[in-house]
């Protein structure tokens, strides 16, 4: 543990977003390093002051993510290294975090109405953005089989965690939207992030609590695939895996993403 590493994680400690082990490790550094101890105390005091004095207001999800993008992401560090430290071995690291970050709009707002917010494509794009911004934290990091086993304990559908070539890290998160259980898989492949949203296919097709635009439903029914390219360079690929709807999002080129997803 050095001061730079501590500095990168200090906010997460104050917000209690790290595992017990990781928190302990950081606090131990603060005990022996006056500079970092001061930083931690200052952050905690600032958080308390904001909490006491500033009224909470809701902001649109897009604003939230753009702030995250510009602050957290600008540090250039991946959230894997920020959260788990440099000693992370993706094969053996298994970390259950206490809580998933607050404010993750589409993941955590159980009272959102079925509308745009329930649109799986929109949710996937928002979640991808939140992963990049560091607002969605992994609950399990490990090799693909372990991530799948972890996720399948929380949902009633088959979870798809394909092995990917040149993957540095694989992580899983479980969540609930409008009472629908969801599984999320995140890969770090070189500098790219691939995020896969997964839900029960019939729930997605029924469209009551989560849903899809008609165009996507038609394509999926006909071909088992649906692809949408966004002007900002993000690609969304939807496909059917057993009884599961998968929605992958990445900033990598469409052809690259498709070849990753279709490779056996
Ligand atoms: Zn220090």
Residue 210 tokens read as 């989560």
Q: Where are the domains of the chain?
A: 3-53, 61-262
Whole-number Å distance, alpha carbon 53 to ligand 1 midpoint, is: 30
Q: What distances in angstroms separate CA 178 from CA 52, 106, 112, 182, one per listed residue?
A: 31, 10, 7, 10
Whole-number Å distance, alpha carbon 259 to ligand 1 midpoint, is: 44
Task: Give tens-digit pLDDT for 42-59.
Answer: 888 877 777 776 665 555
Query: Which is higher by pLDDT, 202 or 188?
Result: 202
Please tell me the predicted confidence (pLDDT) of residue 87. Answer: 35
Task: Give tens-digit pLDDT for 87-144.
Answer: 333 332 333 232 233 334 334 444 433 467 789 998 898 888 878 777 777 888 888 9
Query: Which is higher by pLDDT, 164 or 205?
Result: 205
Whole-number Å distance, alpha carbon 97 to ligand 1 midpoint, is: 23
Residues 186 and 193: their CA atoms lie apart, in Å, by: 7
Query: Which is higher by pLDDT, 101 or 1?
Result: 1
Q: How far is CA 95 from the centre of its chain?
A: 15
Residue 159 makes CB contacts below 8 A (sequence gap 6+) with 148, 151, 152, 183, 185, 198, 244
Whole-number Å distance, alpha carbon 24 to ligand 1 midpoint, is: 14
Whole-number Å distance, alpha carbon 6 to ligand 1 midpoint, is: 6
Whole-number Å distance, alpha carbon 78 to ligand 1 midpoint, is: 21
Whole-number Å distance, alpha carbon 7 to ligand 1 midpoint, is: 8
Query: At residue 71, does pLDDT exceed 80?
Result: no
Whole-number Å distance, alpha carbon 5 to ligand 1 midpoint, is: 8
Whole-number Å distance, alpha carbon 91 to ligand 1 midpoint, is: 29
Whole-number Å distance, alpha carbon 73 to ligand 1 midpoint, is: 22
Question: If 0-12 CB within 10 Å is exposed, 13-18 middle and 19+ buried, where does residue 115 land?
Answer: exposed
Whole-number Å distance, alpha carbon 70 to ligand 1 midpoint, is: 25
Whole-number Å distance, alpha carbon 40 to ligand 1 midpoint, is: 10
Please tell me the predicted confidence (pLDDT) of residue 203. Answer: 95
Q: How confident is the model at residue 60 (pLDDT cuts 50, 70, 90)?
A: low
Whole-number Å distance, alpha carbon 9 to ligand 1 midpoint, is: 11
Q: Read off φ and ψ for residue 218, nearest 5 degrees.
A: -60, -50
Task: Give tens-digit pLDDT for 135-176.
Answer: 777 888 888 999 999 999 999 999 999 988 888 888 998 888
Whole-number Å distance, alpha carbon 214 to ligand 1 midpoint, is: 54
Residues 13 and 36: their CA atoms lie apart, in Å, by: 12
Whole-number Å distance, alpha carbon 80 to ligand 1 midpoint, is: 20
pTM, entire model: 0.61
* Mean pLDDT computed over every residue of the chain: 78
Whole-number Å distance, alpha carbon 169 to ligand 1 midpoint, is: 27
- Find the farthest-apart pair of alpha carbons in the chain and give their distance in angstroms, rounded: 63
Look at domain 61-262 and name its CATH class.
alpha beta
Whole-number Å distance, alpha carbon 86 to ligand 1 midpoint, is: 16
């Amino acid at each position: 543990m050095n001061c730079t590493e501590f500095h990168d994680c200090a906010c997460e400690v104050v917000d209690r977003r790290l595992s017990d082990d990781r928190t302990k490790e950081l606090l131990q550094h603060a005990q022996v390093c006056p500079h970092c101890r001061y930083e931690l105390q200052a952050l905690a005091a600032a958080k308390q002051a904001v909490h006491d004095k500033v009224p909470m207001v809701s902001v649109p999800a897009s604003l939230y993510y753009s702030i995250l993008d510009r602050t957290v992401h600008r540090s250039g560090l991946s959230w894997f290294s920020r959260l788990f430290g440099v000693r992370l071995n993706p094969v053996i690291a298994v970390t259950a975090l206490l809580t998933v970050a607050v404010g993750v709009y589409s993941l955590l707002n159980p009272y959102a109405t079925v509308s745009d917010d329930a649109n799986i494509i929109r949710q996937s794009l928002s979640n991808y953005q939140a992963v990049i911004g560091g607002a969605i934290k992994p609950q399990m990091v490990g090799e693909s089989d372990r991530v799948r086993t972890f996720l399948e304990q929380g949902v009633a559908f088959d979870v798809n965690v394909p092995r990917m070539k040149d993957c540095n890290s694989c992580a899983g998160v479980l969540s609930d939207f409008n009472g629908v259980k969801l599984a999320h898989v995140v890969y770090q492949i070189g500098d790219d992030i691939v995020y896969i949203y997964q839900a029960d296919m019939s729930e997605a097709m029924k469209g009551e609590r989560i849903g899809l635009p008609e165009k996507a439903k038609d394509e999926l029914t006909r071909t088992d695939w649906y692809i949408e390219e966004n002007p900002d360079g993000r690609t969304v690929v939807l496909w059917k895996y057993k009884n599961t709807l998968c929605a992958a999002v990445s900033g990598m080129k469409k052809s690259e993403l498709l070849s990753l997803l279709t490779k056996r």
